[in-house]
Structure 1
Amino acid sequence: MSLRPSVTGAQDSYVWYPVASGSYSAKSGYAAASASLLPTMNQPVVPTTFNWHKSVWNVESPPKLKLLIWKIFHEALPTGLNLQK
Structure 2
Amino acid sequence: MNTGYLRIDGSPQTNPKRMHLVVDHVIQHKGDQRLFWDPTNWQPLCPDHHDIVKQQEEHGTLRTGTDVTGRPLDPSHPWNARKA
TM-score, length basis structure 2? 0.24
Give the structure with the larger strand fraction: 2
Rg: which structure is higher? 1
Give the structure with the larger helix fraction: 1
Structure of greater relative contact order (alpha carbons < 8 Å, 6+ residues apart)? 2
TM-score, length basis structure 1? 0.24
